[in-house]
Amino acid sequence: MADGLRLRTALDKAYRPLQGEFLTTVLVELTPPRALTRLPLNLGLLLDTSESMNGEKLRRAREAATALIAALSPQDLVTLVVFNSEARTLLHSAPAGAATEQQAAEALRHLAAEGVTSLLPGIESIFYEVSRHAGPDRTSFVLLLSDGYPTTVNGYVDEDRDPYVRRVDREMHERGISLTCIGLGDAANYDQGFLRRLADSGNGQFLYCPELTDLTAQFGAEFARIQRTVLNEVTLTARHLGGEVRRLWRVYPEKKLFDDLDLRGDALSVPLGTFQEGQPQAYLLDIVTPEPPAAQPGRARLLEVEATWLDEGRARQATVPVVYELTDNERALAQRNPEVVRLATECIDALLEEQLESAVSGGDRARQTAVLARKKQLTKRLGKVEATRVLEEMEATLDQGGQITQDALARSSQATRPTERLG
């Protein structure tokens, strides 16, 4: 049995004052060892074949799906579902190989782009196929490709997106099935914020693919990532909390704010999904501690961090206590951990991205200008050259009386989400 996950913790402030409430940000980094065996895949492909996918889009989708299926290993499983006005399973879950490639290629060859974008039946169908083989012995992923807004069966845009998110979240929590979404073409034609929200619920990624010629490469890059999966069903638990949890972020490799935290008593438990070979993940937990009763200088426990996972079918865990020190020493209280502070700044940048999207959606130009100015300050401080360039283009657009486009927002989001480094 290989070594387990390595846990590292750090505090933005290792000292807290003797009086008053106090906010502490805890960094939790989890790193898998390199000696672990890669897990076989249980892969689902969910392709939009609505009328808007006609022509070059559908041809590129066929190419990308065909190339991905051909790259699978014999121990992998794959299923293929398409959706337009209804969902159809073109390939029931089957082992990869020549026969499966041929069956998928034949089904893809006869696809036509028609109808509306009934995404929810597609999600139901693909999860039904993938869930039949989900388990600790393989990693389960769904890749969703779409170029349009989800619609009802009557063709109207479905404004109620919560059922989609809840469905994806349930599969992640109950069966560990991850979801990655790829938005194809101009982001004005689909809701990139919704696709990103879906991907966040499935502990996957949102990939923006404005150029059709890049689709096969996008599929390939995401496939290469999930193919390196060495652990699944990883759960992070914070026990014996010494205060109120205000917020939990995944901050590395990409930022995600966790909603609806599962807080039970003085413990918080969060499913993290999968880990890839050699790829650490890092999380920030904001905790507000109350004023200590009759506080005296000295060390105190803030919380205990526990990670659990499955290794060759056996449950394993790692635990690290997190302590801080109470003091009235002003010099000690002024100390800050630069790594945690920088990562917290990354999270603020991501929050500003959400505020920018909200301001654009509401047509509030004054708020757009204000958020852009603040966000640009942060991206410059973080050394994010591409993100800063995109923001400057948005500012120029507003100065010239234009409107910020969904394409610009998608590019800004893609530049904002990744965190370049730890340490």
The pLDDT tens digits of the residues spanning 99-144 come to 999 999 999 999 999 999 999 999 999 999 999 999 888 999 999 9
- Which DSSP state fits 53? G
Which stretch of 48-62, 209-223, 261-275 has the lowest confidence by average pLDDT?
A: 261-275
CA dihedral 171, 197, 234, 38 (to 10 degrees): 90
Q: Residue 1 above 70 pLDDT?
A: no
Q: How far is CA 345 from CA 25, 282, 339, 382, 407, in A?
A: 12, 14, 10, 8, 25
Residue by residue, DSSP assigns 194-215 as HHHHHHHHTT--EEEE-SGGGH
Q: CA-CA distance, 19 to 61, in Å (whole number)? A: 60
3-class DSSP assignment, residue 104: helix
Tokens 């059709």 — which residue?
A: 212
Percentage of residues in the chain having pLDDT higher than 70:
99
Residues 6+ apart with CB under 8 A from 142: 43, 44, 45, 46, 126, 127, 130, 177, 178, 179, 180, 202, 204
Sign of CA dihedral 386, 390, 391, 393: positive
Quickly state the pLDDT bin for 264 (edges 50, 70, 90): confident
CB 198 within 8 A of CB 215: no
Query: Would you tell me how many other CB atoms lie within 10 Å of the CB of residue 390?
Result: 22
Q: Residue 154 above 90 pLDDT?
A: no
Question: ∠ CA(132), CA(229), CA(73), 5° rounding?
Answer: 70
Residues 6+ apart with CB under 8 A from 8: 27, 28, 29, 31, 320
Quickly state the pLDDT bin for 205 (edges 50, 70, 90): very high
In 3D space, the residue among 175, 221, 225, 215 whose CA is nearest the CA of residue 47 turns out to be 215
Quickly state the pLDDT bin for 47 (edges 50, 70, 90): very high
| Predicted pLDDT at 348 | 96
Q: Residue 304 above 90 pLDDT?
A: yes
Q: CA-CA distance, 151 to 7, in Å (whole number)? A: 44
In 3D space, the residue among 109, 100, 47 whose CA is nearest the CA of residue 77 turns out to be 100
The pLDDT tens digits of the residues spanning 375-420 come to 999 999 999 999 999 999 999 999 999 999 999 999 999 999 999 8
Quickly state the pLDDT bin for 263 (edges 50, 70, 90): confident
Sign of CA dihedral 334, 335, 341, 342: positive
Query: Would you tell me how many other CB atoms lie within 10 Å of the CB of residue 298?
Result: 9
Q: Which H or E run contains 378?
A: helix 365-381
Q: CA-CA distance, 252 to 240, in Å (whole number)? A: 25
**CATH code linked to domain 6-34+232-335:** 2.60.40.3670
3-class DSSP assignment, residue 415: helix
| Predicted pLDDT at 201 | 93
- Describe the strand order of the beta sheet including 22-31 as a list of residue ranges: 6-11, 22-31, 281-289, 244-252, 256-257
- What mean pLDDT comes out for the span 234-244? 95
Domain boundaries, given as residue ranges, for the chain: 6-34+232-335, 41-227, 340-416
194-199 — which CB contacts under 8 Å span 24+ positions?
Answer: 194/149, 194/150, 194/161, 194/164, 195/144, 195/146, 196/413, 197/161, 197/165, 198/144, 198/164, 198/165, 198/168
- Describe the strand order of the beta sheet including 178-184 as a list of residue ranges: 87-95, 77-83, 41-48, 139-146, 178-184, 206-209
What's the pTM? 0.92
Q: CA-CA distance, 86 to 307, in Å (whole number)? A: 41
Q: CA-CA distance, 35 to 231, in Å (whole number)? A: 12
- What mean pLDDT comes out for the span 40-60? 97
Q: Residue 2 above 60 pLDDT?
A: no
CATH superfamily, region 41-227? von Willebrand factor, type A domain (3.40.50.410)
- What mean pLDDT comes out for the span 145-156? 92
Q: CA-CA distance, 337 to 7, in Å (whole number)? A: 18
Tokens 């209280």 — which residue?
A: 333
| Predicted pLDDT at 42 | 97
Q: CA-CA distance, 94 to 291, in Å (whole number)? A: 58
Tokens of 179: 């979801």
